[in-house]
Chains A and B, each alone.
Chain A
Amino acid sequence: MRGPIITLEGVQKYYGEYHALRGIDAEIGQGEFFSLLGPSGCGKTTLLRAIAGFEDISGGRILLDGRDMDGVPPNRRPTNMVFQSYAIFPHLSVAENVGFGLRKSPMSGAEKKTAVGEALEMVGLGGYGGRAAHALSGGQRQRVALARALILKPKVLLLDEPLSALDKKMREQMQTELRRLQRQVGITFILVTHDQEEALIMSDRIAVMFEGGIAQLAPPQDLYRRPASRKVGEFIGMMNFLPARLIEAGNPSVEVEVPGLGRAILEPDQCPMGTGGEISIGLRPESMTLLFDGQNAERVAQGVVEERTYYGDMTYYDIRLDGAPNIVQVSMRNMPGRRVLDRGDRADLAWDARAMVLFC
């Protein structure tokens, strides 16, 4: 991460009594693809609009390229936005939409025309300039909105759920394209989304938000592998949570006993040990494997298949562990010749302590 382009310092927002942003701290780097991820109503849009200047914040500071943005109206901020509804001006043509922000620029008419053409080319709409804006499809509108914002070469591009109105196919295509575009122009993108997969695919870093606060800010791999809390783990991907008992709290390693699985030595990065409170561990379905005839592993647990769910590429098993009330979910890739267990079959499963996350 090169130097920060945006610094958020304790950003607060009240809508009347309602506390929509509860002290947001973050630094967003130059050229970074940054995502705000969280469930509906957690304040993602509010934060994005505060950065754009559409919402006055009630406390804290927003620095853009080192400049305090307090009192700077949206038209004077070096940010541009792609709106969720795209906000394509229906009374203007595609080219007029894309060139909308160039009205006051010192460029000559011909230069503007070239710039518009290039911007349209960049988003794959070369030759569409003369079309009426209201006759475009959803995907095309989205591209026009992108071209219209990028043509102004903002320091930061803000995108509010830009893909949520598209169908699945189109959405997947635009995800790759957005990423490519971002690398090409090198502008910082801040993407708001409630789709965790989308955030994982596209982002350099993700801020997971709950109820007006950032619960974790990390690159996708870290977020997935080491969620900072149960809530984050639950929100991103699937995760098994099992109650655990502390055997020995050392530094840096901790020994825990997980009923049904056994003992494990972990090196947690968050829990200050010796708390004595309730602890649990998290384990992703794919970090356990079922063992078939004769396979062996270092750590093995036994149980009974309670449920089997077929997903095409994967099969998920719910397994009730012997000697414990816990059910764990295990995913197995479907491969030719691999056995499939039925409900009620006994299963051996191998697990890896390195994939365990400790929550307390």
Chain B
Amino acid sequence: MRGLKVYAITYLVFLYAPIILLPLFAFNDGTIIAFPLQGFTLDWFVELARTEALHDATVNSIFIAVTTAILATCFGLFAARAGNRHSFPGKGGILGFVMLPLVLPEIIVAVSLLVAMLQVGLSPSIWTVIAGHVLICTPFSIAILNGSFANMDKSLEEAAVDLGETPVSTFRLVTLPLVMPGIVASLLICFTISLDEFIIAFFLSGNEPTLPVYLWGQLRFPGRLPVIMALGTILVILSILLLVTAEYFRRRGLRRAGLEDTGGFL
């Protein structure tokens, strides 16, 4: 089994190779992205702080990501609850259809949304990007919240009703606290996906670029690359922080429900 372990570690190196390079070039005192490294500098981060367009893109991205996270998690809550607690005609088909964007190539989602929007006279904007992002984030939210609902004994809610609570107060007193870790994890994951999403934003953002769209534009200018490395470093650190938080909440949820940990997201 030694061989397998060596393989596993090599594979991890392969997975992490790009991320490890990122900070190397972000702090590298040279304008070209190539070895050997030149020396340590913080210039690129300073330059980041001075780029107006970047700030606008960041604000756009954060607004889109927050709105997307909230909307997608609401939809996720509805669908996950319906799927786990009720049976209704056409259940498999309906839920399958809502989950479809998970396996659809993003370019298809992007162009079809673009065409449809132009057809009804909407012009690309932050809101059209949000519409697309909600569509692709909802399946992730459903997957996460499905776990939360499936882990929750159905009779807990019945017990609350049996003890005199109305369906609404039961939701507030029992359901919400128990699925809260799932909700937080869903918000964080959707936020991360939206923040990072490129294709849909590329097609639908018009003249209000998101961070990835801005980045894409900059990739063409070799002189801007070190700055992008600095930005990438910040983004990676941010993503990892968000993920660790999401994972923390997920585990806390499991612990509250008194369950064994059985794996990660999805």
Contacts and interface: CB of A to CB of B under 8 A. Distances in A.
Please indicate whether A and B come from the same complex rather than being unrelated chains. yes
Interface string B236-260: 0000000000000000000011100
B174 A74 contact: no
A74 B161 contact: yes
A87 B153 contact: yes
Contact of A87 (B159, B164, B166): B159
A79 B159 CA distance: 11
Interface residues of B, number: 19
Contacts of B162: 52, 54, 74-75, 79-81, 149
Contacts of A100: 160, 163, 173
A83 interface: yes
B164 A83 contact: no
A243 interface: no
A87 B177 CA distance: 15
A90 B163 contact: no
Contacts of A79: 162
Nearest to B257: A90
B168 to A, nearest CB: 11
Contact of B155 (A75, A80, A84, A149): A84
Nearest to B166: A75
A90 B158 contact: no
A101 B164 contact: yes
B178 interface: yes
A226 interface: no
B122 to A, nearest CB: 44
A90 B256 contact: yes
Nearest to B163: A101
Contacts of A81: 158-159, 162
A104 B163 CA distance: 10
A354 B256 CA distance: 60
Given A85-B153, A87-B153, A90-B178, A73 B161 contact: yes
A148 B162 CA distance: 11
Interface in A142-195: 148-149, 152
B157 to A, nearest CB: 9
Contacts of B178: 90-91
A79 B153 CA distance: 21
Interface string B124-154: 0000000000000000000000000000010
A85 B258 CA distance: 13
Nearest to B180: A91
A128 interface: no
B208 interface: no
A44 to B, nearest CB: 16
Given A90-B256, A134-B256, 14 more contacts: A52-B162, A54-B161, A74-B158, A75-B164, A75-B165, A79-B162, A80-B163, A81-B162, A90-B178, A100-B160, A100-B163, A101-B163, A103-B165, A148-B163
Interface of B: 153, 155-156, 158-166, 173-174, 177-178, 256-258
20 contacts: A52-B162, A54-B162, A74-B162, A75-B163, A75-B164, A75-B166, A81-B162, A85-B153, A85-B155, A87-B155, A87-B156, A87-B158, A89-B159, A90-B257, A91-B177, A101-B165, A103-B165, A134-B257, A148-B163, A152-B163
